[in-house]
Structure 1
């Protein structure tokens, strides 16, 4: 155990039924248990970095260096080869990675960890952004176990939903600053709703999406 160690992480580790065997495992376990904190921290670190000059959000195949396979994957400029900052810097937020995958140099060593390319917090945040349904219980507690669409108590079949659908983010908001975009995958844009309410919301969104396509597509009569 290092002489200096994050107090919250140590308290969490010692409260576990099985104490993590190493300091790194303790840090990883702490962030896994606190995905909402990891989400806030990762977005704050991304805001500190800002988007690299010349970067734009593209999908795979557009430009040859994009890492996003679809609009459902969070944009991550520092994962792209052209904008990567290399070992010792997080490939998600772009900030330096220090000892044990921590985001601050608590030990005053003045050097980055050249063996790391992720913050432990950013690992947890990325999993939260890509698979929010795995954290449904955490999101339920945040809402007081109430459905935000109906106002009723959440049922066991409740599902995680994006308030602003991700297809709408790609279609209408992809030119927004990159750190702001991450909020659409994070806690500010996530809610847990009962299944029936979720189905109805998806139907409304599909109808609006279909209506927009009809408006945008040219009329066959115009070609006659």
Structure 2
């Protein structure tokens, strides 16, 4: 059996299985996408996941919009888990803040642990079926899972980001080369240092598409050099403290 014959046989079986499992109401764009794939997903849930994986910028926008609908939980502040206590907080500023993953603010099953909104059938974000109640067995939206992976590893979606920029370097305007790299326009260390008091939904934009750009490697190397120099200078200056006493001002070195 050749590869094309195997694919035809496999897709026929997968399509039949998918059509048997489809409810009367199902998102039309997801179904169109599923039937156009080289390998058709055999279940509605896999079809939804495939849709968001292949529309990653749309998933990013949706996840941030759902987070804005939930808002910042009362009493929550962005903190890092420096001691590895495992309380739901990230250990590094490179991981997006996620208050609803913290047990103290989690909304329980049926609510997305990333955005906090109710989760319905197949990981969908809206109740298209009129059931009224979220899926108690679900803990995340399919779109939010795709967005979370995108925020953690944006380089995996360099193709989509290049297409958004029409294959032009965001800094130099030149044609993007094959070695082009994904970069955070505002470095994440600077987000932690200067913007961590902003509302949580606004913070997510620093990991999402609004703060991502694709630049040629040579440009990225120079940008990283400048950022490293700025961080080093800031660290050196933070060791000194200006105090005022009866004799005037003096500078002391700490640590």
CA distance in 1, matches of 2:131, 2:123: 14
Q: Does the Cα contact within 8 Å between 2:44 and 2:122 map onto a contact in 1?
A: yes
Does residue 1:10 correspond to 2:40, yes or no? Answer: no
1:1-224 residue pairs with structure 2 within 5 A? 1-61=22-82, 65-218=87-240, 222=252
- Secondary structure class of the residue paired with 1:222: strand
- Please report how far the alpha carbon of residue 19 of structure 1 lies from its aligned counterpart in structure 2 after TM superposition: 1.2
Higher relative strand content: 2
CA distance in 1, matches of 2:199, 2:232: 27
Question: Compared with structure 1, are the counterparts of its residues 30 and 23 closer, same or farther at alpha carbon in structure 2 (3 Å cutoff)?
Answer: same
Residues 25-75 of structure 1 deviation map (CA, whole Å, 9 limit, x = unaligned): 100000000110000000000000001111010111479534212000000
Residues 156-209 of structure 1 deviation map (CA, whole Å, 9 limit, x = unaligned): 110000000000000110000000000000000000001110000011111111
Residues 61-106 of structure 1 deviation map (CA, whole Å, 9 limit, x = unaligned): 4795342120000000000011100000000000000011100000
TM-score by length of 2: 0.84
Q: Does the Cα contact within 8 Å between 1:59 and 1:66 map onto a contact in 2?
A: no
Q: Does the Cα contact within 8 Å between 1:58 and 1:66 map onto a contact in 2?
A: no
Give unmatched runs, 5+ long, in structure 2: 1-21, 242-249
Moved more, 53-62 or 171-180: 53-62
Number of residues paired by the alignment? 223
Q: Does the Cα contact within 8 Å between 2:68 and 2:201 map onto a contact in 1?
A: yes
CA distance in 1, matches of 2:63, 2:94: 18
Q: Does the Cα contact within 8 Å between 2:168 and 2:174 map onto a contact in 1?
A: yes
**Which structure has more RCO (C-alpha within 8 Å, separation ≥ 6)?**
1
- Secondary structure class of the residue paired with 1:192: strand
Give unmatched runs, 5+ long, in structure 1: none
Q: Does the Cα contact within 8 Å between 2:84 and 2:91 map onto a contact in 1?
A: no
TM-score by length of 1: 0.96
CA distance in 2, matches of 1:59, 1:31: 29
